[in-house]
Structures are given as structure tokens and as C-alpha cells.
Amino acid sequence: MILSDTDLLARLRGGDLVVEPLDDPDLQVQPASIDVRLGREFLEFQRANIPCIHPNSEAEVDEYVSETIVDEGNEFILHPGDFVLGTTKERVEVPPDLVAQVEGRSSLGRLAVVVHATAGFIDPGFRGKITLELSNLGTAPVALTPGMRISQLVFTEMKSPATRPYGTERGSKYQDQTGPQASRIGGDDEFHGRQGGPSRDRDTVDEEADTGR
């Protein structure tokens, strides 16, 4: 069941669902979603002088990205064909009985800006800011202003709460993230096995959400 504005406001008041700072509930709480705003931090992907990126090599991933912080009142220009990681201004806490979906705003979609490639699912138990996968599919640069409403979160109630929600008990890699995070796929169980490192028990393998992979 998707939560309506009435449900969302009740859960926010109850404190088990957290979206903060929610500076303007009248504007941000939509009929069946919550609008979240763009943060100031971006990770830009550089043209690295290497044959390819190995997902299990954190050093290669770090070499491939650089951080940009936009000053107050300035803009980030998203050029055609660009792919950058952004972040929400709001921090989110999802209770064990809810999941959330990151969706783009139609007004930005009509400018050919998309907010996620695959990382659109937020697990029960997730805490932190949401990393956005921003792309410009159009032919003209688009100016993005920190603080603008960039995407919306749709919350769905599960049939029963998760027994083992996203978090430190699962070894979740992106819990409590405070800004855009580059890929940490090298920490996945299958890469540990290939590298000869200790393999975790199958019951504790991290099956993280796309927002936390």
C-alpha cells in the first residue's frame, strides 16, 4: 500500500519515518510522495587514463571521480551526456515496515534530466542522505541549483516489517551516508571470495538496496 499525504504526515509526526530538514511540509508533501531537495555536493566522473574500471578496486574508482561543492547561490551545470552523483539535502530514516522509491519530478524530466539509473530503491532500515544518479539526456546544458526540489520519495508499506533491515548488522556499506558516495561494490561478498579474503556466512551476505549498493 502506497502512503498518502495523510499517512505520510502521521508517520512523520510519529517520528518513525524521518525526512529532515522538512522545511516546508505544505510544499514538499505531495498527495502520495515527499519532494526532496538537491544538496551542494557532487561527484563527477573523469576520463581516467586507464583501460577500464575494475569494480573491486576501490583505488581505481576513487581515481575516476572528483568532488565538487557548489557555493551558496551558485549552480551546477549538467551538460548533455554527463553522469554525476549528487545528493539530497534531506536525511531520511526508513522504518522496518516501509520501503521507498526514488522518482524524478516530471518538470525536470521534461528538461531531459533523470535522477537515477538503477539506484531507485531504498530498503527498510536505511538511514542517511540519498545518492542521486544525475544524467542529462537532452541536447542543452541544464543548470541545477542546490536547494531546488530534485526528486520525490514514494513510500510503500510492507505486509510485515523486515526481520533483518538494512544497517550495520547486515554490513550495509552506505548506512548513515552524509553525501554522494562512489561505488563500494568491491566490498561485496563475491569479490572477497575471488580475492581470497574471508567469506562471510551466507546468512550475513549483504543484499543491499540500489541506494546502498
Q: What is the pLDDT of residues 32-51, one digit of tens each?
A: 999 999 999 999 987 656 67
Q: Any catalytic annotation for residue 133?
A: yes
- Of 72, 75, 90, 133, the catalytic one is 133
pLDDT band at 96; cut points 50, 70, 90: very high
**CA pair distance 48, 60, nearest whole angstrom:** 9
Average pLDDT over residues 120-135: 93
pLDDT of amino acid 178? 75
Q: Bigger pLDDT: 116 or 70? A: 70
Please determine, for residue 208, whether its predicted confidence score (pLDDT) is greater than 70: no
Q: What are phi and psi of 84, to 5 degrees?
A: -135, 155
Please determine, for residue 195, whether its predicted confidence score (pLDDT) is greater than 60: no
Please determine, for residue 128, whether its predicted confidence score (pLDDT) is greater than 80: yes
Please determine, for residue 5, whether its predicted confidence score (pLDDT) is greater than 90: yes
pLDDT band at 15; cut points 50, 70, 90: very high
Q: Bigger pLDDT: 73 or 50? A: 73
pLDDT of amino acid 184? 59
pLDDT of amino acid 185? 61
Domains located in the chain, CATH noted:
5-212 (2.70.40.10)
Percent above pLDDT 70 for the chain:
78
pLDDT of amino acid 48? 59
Q: Which pairs with CB-CB distance under 8 Å and at least 24 residues apart come from 193-201?
A: 194/56, 195/56, 200/171
Average pLDDT over residues 66-84: 93
Please determine, for residue 86, whether its predicted confidence score (pLDDT) is greater than 90: yes
